Structure 1
Amino acid sequence: MFATPALACDIDGWGKGDYEYDAGSSYRYGDEGMNEIPVMEGSKNVSFLKETAAVSLNASESGLPVTGADVYAYKGYAYMGTHRLGSGSNEGIRVFDMKDPSNPVEVAKFADNLPGTWQEKIIVKSVNTPHFKGDLAVVSVQRFNGDAEKVGTVIYDVTDPVNPIELGFWETPEAHLNGGGTHELYLTTQGNRALLLAANSGSYRRSGGEIHDFVIVDVSNPAEPQEIYQFDPKTVIPEVDQTYRFVDEHNQTRSISVHSVIADTTGKYAYLSAWDMGTVILDISNPEEAEFVGRTSYEEQVQGAAHSAALAKGGNVLIETREVFNPVRHGYEQGFGYVRIYDIKDKANPELISTFQTDNAENMTTGYPGFTVHDPKVLGNTLYLSHYFDGVRIVDITSPSNPEEIGAYVPEKSNIWGVFVHRNYILASDMETGLKVLQKTGNGNGKK
């Protein structure tokens, strides 16, 4: 039997306890393979995508199923995090050789030497610093139970993905709820510097002055990571109280939690998904003295819940996904979370230009975590969304003000956590059934 999946985010305050749903009503939805859609030209031709591989995850000792978390790919290898298994076993990061995408081969496992923790997020980048040259991986380490000795971010050399080597560890402060850990993260470079951007979801891990909700850590020397910056939301919203809540201009009580973070390709700007505070844009060109630039905000009846972000159109368009897993909440519009798209040419004043919402996200009112959008990825003019029970949704954003769904992959009992596009395939991580691979396998004439 599979373990009951945990959410990507479970914040205090506006968390599960405040939501009007039946926690036992979890169910799945979907059919096998891709939904039929019209044939498109060029980059829009996704009608022939098919599931070509499905790899289940199992615990190495017990053989029990492992709950899948996020997925990332780099240089022909897929890296998949693991989430909470009922037994609390630390299953680390799984590495797959994708030389034959229809037959992923697990070749390594790492970060599995940390009892009492779970690993959700991994980012891999090539870096060149005075201390390290090669492919660096940063992995979030979160507390699962009292067995955890340390939490935060573990750093690995994956230049040879088959033989990962642990290099260092950045620990969140002990006072941080006895070490709650890093939830999501990002790795960026500035010249010969490597910077870890760590989101530690402080809104439910408060510790007085040591909140460490978002920090920048210099990992140029991976063996000696150095924290160089900490974001304080009170510098933007002075009215934020000690519980990380504030009352907005609509008299709605909002809650702040830096859930995730990305950087642009230049490493100059960081985008913090700060829940009801929206997406916060920081200029990190001088990372020791990062500066607030602007942020998104919400209309009165829109739940915040800024969960993740992606950039499009050369960094001039922001894709904001909102993980609203309570579709019926008093005082707010009905529906699960959906996408908001912003013009950010003027980063001090993000302009909402469109939204994208699946039919199920709009109309379904039960199920947990349900039909909310989760994570976004962008390749060219195509947006890929992981959507839990709604699978993977593929959206044409050639015109960002008019997003158009052009494909959907909804496997049986879909519970899609993450999505990633690499080379000639799409990866999807299903929380309960493992790694999925989608490829273009036909041309519409019965040929493969």
Structure 2
Amino acid sequence: MNGASRRTVLKLLGASGVLGFGIGSASAAKPKGNIKKLGHSLLSDPPGSYAEVDVRGDGHFAVLGSFLGEGGSFLVDITNPTQPTEVHRVPSSEHTRNADVKFDTRDGLYYRSQEPNDDEGVGGVEIIDYGYGDATPENPAVIGRLDAEDTHNIFCHPNADIVYTTNAHGGHDDEENTGFDIFDVSDPWNPTKLGEGGPAGALHDLVIDPGTEFMHCAYIGGGLDGYVIVDVSTPTEPTEVGRFDYEGLPDYSEERLEQGKPGFESCHYANYDPERGLAVVGDEIGHGWPGGKHIFDIGWGDGSRANPKHIGFTYSPNAEYQGDDDRETYDWTTHNHDVISKDDTTLLVDGGYHEGVVVYDMSDPTDPVPVDIYETDDEAADANGAAWLGSAPNAWGANYNEARDLVVASDMTTGIYTFKVTPSRNNGK
């Protein structure tokens, strides 16, 4: 199905309330949600592929990481969101990937994770000064390093000079994985490891709600597959408060996809609803039957943080079998997402790989509905994206910045995008 017809399908769904795949039941109110591209840039496009994107709190800068290749990290000025402009690139070795990037709460600093691509690569986390000390946005400097071994994802505590790093160093199946590492970065030139936290297992990613200081964790193996909530109100003394364990629940399958029923495997990413007691958890599956999005009640209704209750689920709009080899990879599985609350509408925006950036109406959390899509394939013919990915779109993730009411997304092949996402009726305008 080509891009135009996919968007047509979503417009019809938004207008009629009739859903594909048997996902849930039709909502009483017509679903809302509209995505409009503001700007795009392929950036300097070194060989390889882009990865995670983060947006600074004031919404004036974004930073992108890279996956395979020799990309490094890219600071982007989005003051004018219609013209994202690369300010600097800090290259990396082709032997080391920088999949995740995060801004510090202090202006002028960001972090980039490190994972080896081969035996010559290195792990840990690098600290980049782009204006905190003597460096500038145009002339950045690597000023410190967190000794965290191979690190895929990182997150900064929103109210303390603490950085948490996932420590699934031995792979998802290694029983020796121990949750996350805790680093004091009050002196970014001399960071200090303080200890470890979270339950044992292969923690894949973590997100902290700044309003509640609860950490939302996605464990993907190593003895634990599922969603975990950790209290980090005392940043150096994290405490688990609740979990939803996938053990014993059904995997994804042809039958469950056809019926719109959830599977429970490969828990990959968890994020929170900023206004309601809800969390959204995504399963990423690279081959075979694709993973989707779970909605958990953690205080909205009968659920709680101590006892998360599964209440809703959706697949991506075009979910189908993804094949069994590397020529058909991550086609229709969901990936990294954010939740947008506007008036009486709650929207979920996802970087959905070959779907592009997808918007779901989750105002009724028991019945989330895909409503609009933007295929992130701008300038794809000119891009140096890795051949193993297949053709764009290859959207990695989407982040909402409330200060400027912007969504910033990254595509592994085509770079950075800025969007306006609104709850207006999905009518194609």
TM-score when normalising by structure 1:
0.71
Give how far 1:402 is off. 2.2
Aligned partners of 2:35 and 2:374 also within 8 Å: no
Corresponding position: 1:122 with 2:101: yes
**Which residue matches 1:393?**
358
Give the superposition deviation at 1:297: 2.2
Partner of residue 273, structure 2:
312
Matched, 1:145 2:118: yes
Aligned residues: 359
Distance 2:84 2:208 in 1: 29
Give the match for residue 189 of structure 1: 158
Q: Per the alignment, in what secondary structure is the counterpart of residue 245 of structure 2?
A: coil
Q: CA deviation at 1:347?
A: 0.8
**Structure 2 stretches of 5 or more lacking a match?**
17-30, 252-262, 378-391
8 A Cα contact 1:55 1:104, kept in partner: no
The CA distance in 2 between the partners of 1:404 and 1:45, in whole Å, is: 9
Counterpart residue number, 2:85: 105
Q: How many angstroms apart in 2 are the aligned matches of 1:300 and 1:420?
A: 30
Q: Using a 3 Å threshold, how does the CA distance of structure 1 residues 84 and 113 change in structure 2: closer, same or farther?
A: closer
Alignment correspondent of 2:128 = 156
Corresponding residue to 1:226 among 176, 188, 192: 192
Shift of residue 136 of structure 1? 2.9
Alignment counterpart, residue 428 of structure 1, candidates 399, 409, 412: 409
Q: Give, in whole Å, the separation in 2 of the partners of 1:370 and 1:48.
A: 21
Q: Is this contact kept in 1: 2:408–2:419, CA < 8 A? A: yes
Letter in 1 for 2:340: L
Letter of the 1:341 partner, please give it. Answer: I
- Give the Å deviation of 1:113: 5.2
Question: SS of 1:70's equivalent?
Answer: strand
Which residue identity lines up with residue 262 of structure 1 in the other structure?
V
Contact in 1 for aligned 2:359/2:370 (Cα 8 Å): yes
Match of 2:313 among 340, 350, 355: 355
What CA distance in whole angstroms lies between the structure 2 residues aligned with 1:77 and 1:34? 32
Pairing partner for 1:167 from 143, 148, 168: 143
Q: Classify the secondary structure of the residue corresponding to 1:35.
A: helix
Distance 1:34 1:56 in 2: 27
Does the 8 Å contact 1:57/1:434 carry over to 2? Answer: no
Code of the residue aligned with 2:62 in structure 1: it is A
Whether the aligned pair in 2 keeps the contact of 1:420 and 1:426 (CA below 8 Å) is yes
Alignment deviations for residues 89-123 of structure 1 (CA, whole Å, 9 cap, x no partner): 3x21111212332222211112x255631111111
Matches of 2:5 and 2:190, distance apart in 1: 46
Distance 1:187 1:308 in 2: 16
Compared with structure 1, are the counterparts of its residues 343 and 215 closer, same or farther at alpha carbon in structure 2 (3 Å cutoff)? same
Unaligned runs of at least 5 residues, structure 1: 1-28, 60-64, 128-133, 173-178, 235-255, 328-334
Q: Cα gap change, 1:295/1:220 in structure 2, threshold over 3 Å: closer, same or farther?
A: same
Question: Which residue number in structure 1 is paired with residue 374 of structure 2?
Answer: 409
Q: Summarize deviations over 1:306-329 as a string: whole Å, max 9, x none.
A: 1111100436211101102233xx
Matched, 1:71 2:53: yes
Any residues of structure 2 matched to 1:54-65 within 5 Å, and which?
A: 54-59=41-46, 65=47
Distance 2:238 2:407 in 1: 35
In the alignment, what sits opposite 1:239?
none
Q: 2:40 aligns with which of 30, 53, 61?
A: 53
Tell me if structure 2 keeps the 8 A contact 1:267–1:284. no
Q: What SS class does the counterpart of residue 86 from structure 2 fall into?
A: strand
d(CA) in 1 for partners of 2:333 and 2:164? 25
The code of the aligned residue for 1:79 comes to: V
C-alpha contact (below 8 Å) 1:30/1:411 kept by paired residues: no
Within the candidate set 295, 300, 313, 2:243 is matched to 295
Give the match's secondary structure for 2:236: helix
Partner of 1:371: 332
Alignment partners' CA distance in 2, 1:122 and 1:68? 11
The residue aligned with 1:336 is 290
1:305 partner amino acid? S
* 8 Å contact kept, 2:296–2:308: yes
Normalising by structure 2, what TM-score?
Answer: 0.74
8 Å contact kept, 1:377–1:383? yes
d(CA) in 2 for partners of 1:99, 1:231: 37
Residue 398 of structure 1, CA deviation: 1.9
Aligned to 2:380: none
Q: CA–CA distance in 1 between the matches of 2:210 and 2:421?
A: 28
Contact 1:121/1:185 (CA < 8 Å) preserved in 2? Answer: yes
Aligned pair 1:269/2:217, yes or no?
A: no
Identical pairs, percent: 23
* The 10-residue stretch of structure 1 (366-375 or 157-166) with the greater mean CA deviation from structure 2: 157-166
C-alpha spacing 1:212/1:48, structure 2 compared with 1 (3 Å): closer
C-alpha offsets along residues 111-157 of structure 1, whole Å, 9 cap, x if unaligned?
x2556311111111323xxxxxx343121111123333x42111123
What SS is found at the alignment partner of 1:371? coil
1 CA distance for matches of 2:163 and 2:82? 33
Residues 360, 370 of structure 2: 8 Å contact kept: yes
* Correspondence 1:204 to 2:171: yes
Give the secondary structure class of the aligned counterpart of 1:326.
coil
The residue type paired with residue 331 of structure 2 is G
The 3 A distance-change label for structure 1 pair 30 and 414 is farther
Pick aligned residue for 1:82 from 46, 66, 70 = 66
Alignment of 1:8-19 (within 5 A): none
Deviations 1:55-79 (A, max 9, x none): 25422xxxxx331111122231121
